[in-house]
Structure 1
C-alpha cells in the first residue's frame, strides 16, 4: 500500500455524541412548542435538505436547528430563544477532542511505515480546528478536507497523489462514506464501526451484497491485519 487514509470524526475521535447532546438540548428548548418526535423528524429533514447548500459540519447543523425552530413554531420563536439555540450549537465548534482508545498507539506505529492521510468531509475551518485540537496532526503526511465522499471525490484524490486504487486503503466508521465508494473504484477499505451512527450514513443490506471489505472491532486490530497482509505480499 502506498497510501493509508483515515476518516476523522468517530474514527480518530468521538464526534457524533456531541451532536446528539446538542440535539437533545434543542428538544428541551422547544419542548413547550412541539414534541421531541416531531422535532426530530423535522430537524432531520432540514439537515438533509440543507446539505446541498451548507454542507456538513457544525455551522450547517446550527443553521438547520434555527430553521427547524422557526418552521415548527410558525415564526413564534423569540429572539432570546434563537440566541439560546446559537449558544448551544456554538459548543460544537470547540468541544474537547476525545481521541478514541488505541488511536495514538496505532498512528505512532503506522506513520513510521506508511504515508498516512486524514481524509474527512465537512467545513474546512471546523475540521482543521478538530485536527489541531486532537494533537494527531503530526502523524499525517497529507490532509484532505472535502465536501462529500463519493466515488468521484476519491478518484480525484488518487489522481492528485498519483496512486492506483489497488495501492490505496481507506479506514473509517461509515459504510456509506468510507467503504462503499472506495470499494466501487477498486480500492481497499476497512470498516471500524462506532457506537452511534447518523441516520444519513446508514446503508441497506442490499447495498453491501457482494462488496468485499474488512470489518474490525477496534483500531488496534489494524496492526495485526496489516502485518498479515505484508507477510502475504
Structure 2
C-alpha cells in the first residue's frame, strides 16, 4: 500500500485569501457607479449581476488574465451608459481601470492554519504540489510573499486556463500515481471536477464568499474519492482516513 500521497493544492481561496479583495474593490465600484448614475437610481444588485455576467463570460473566453477584472468594470459602466443613457467619459473609464488593477497590488494573507497544515503533510512524507490559475507574475508574487517554495520547491504549476485539459497535461507530464494523487481546492469547476474526471482523489474546501464562476453542479456521483471540508486544517485527517481505509481493506483481503 502506498501511504505516500502526491497532493496538488490550489492557491487562491484554498491556501490564501483572494475573493475578499475583489469584494472590497467591487464595493468601491458599486458606490462609484451609483454616484455617476444617481439620476437613474441603479441598485447595487443590478450593478453586481451585470458585472458578474460580464466577468464570467470573459474568463470563459480568455482564461484567468489580469485584464479581465478591470475590463469587466469598464464594460459594466458602458452597459449602463447605453441603457440609461449617459455619455461615456474616457477619464471615468481610466479611473475604473486603475481601480480594477489595484486589486493585484494588495497584500495577501493565508487562511488560518495554512502553514501548520502544509508542515504536517510534508512531515508525514507526502509530496506537495501547487497548481494555480492566473498570470505567472501575479501568482508568483503571492507565492514569494507567502514563502510557499519551502513546501513546494519547483513543483509549481501556473496556468491561465485551469480546467480538465490543463490538469490532465500536468498529470501526464509528471510521475503521478493517480491512485494516490489528490487535488485540493475551493472550486468545483476548476479543482474538483477536473480531478474526478482525471481519476484522482479530491478534497473540496467550501468557503463562504465563493466566486459565482466556481459554483457548478456535479453532474454525476464520482467513481473515486471526494471529501468536502470547511477548512484547510481538515485536509490531513481526510487523507489519513483514506490511507487507513485502504489498509483495512488490504488486511481483510
State TM-score, norm by structure 1: 0.89
Corresponding residue SS for 1:77: coil
> Would you say 1:95 and 2:98 are equivalent positions?
no
> Would you say 1:45 and 2:53 are equivalent positions?
yes
C-alpha spacing 1:36/1:223, structure 2 compared with 1 (3 Å)? same
Bigger Rg, which one? 2
> Would you say 1:63 and 2:71 are equivalent positions?
yes
The CA distance in 2 between the partners of 1:49 and 1:216, in whole Å, is: 29
Aligned residues: 231
Judge conservation of contact 1:19–1:92 (CA < 8 Å) in 2. Answer: yes
Corresponding residue SS for 1:88: helix
How many Å apart are 1:29 and its aligned residue?
0.9
How many Å apart are 1:57 and its aligned residue?
4.8
Judge conservation of contact 2:70–2:98 (CA < 8 Å) in 1. Answer: no
The CA distance in 1 between the partners of 2:232 and 2:60, in whole Å, is: 32
Partner of 2:29: 26
Identify the match of residue 170 of structure 1 among 168, 175, 183: 183
Task: Please list the CA deviations of residues 172-221 of structure 1 after superposition, one character each: whole Å capped at 9, or x if unmatched.
Answer: 111221112211221000111112111111123xx254124111222222
The CA distance in 2 between the partners of 1:138 and 1:131, in whole Å, is: 10
| Cα RMSD for the two superposed structures | 2.0
Q: What aligned pairs does 1:79-228 form with structure 2 within 5 A after superposition?
A: 79-112=90-123, 113-141=125-153, 142-204=155-217, 207=218, 209-211=220-222, 212-228=225-241
How many Å apart are 1:12 and its aligned residue?
0.3
For structure 2, the residue ranges without an aligned partner over 5 or more in a row are 248-253
Range with bigger deviation, 57-66 or 184-193: 57-66
For structure 1, the residue ranges without an aligned partner over 5 or more in a row are none
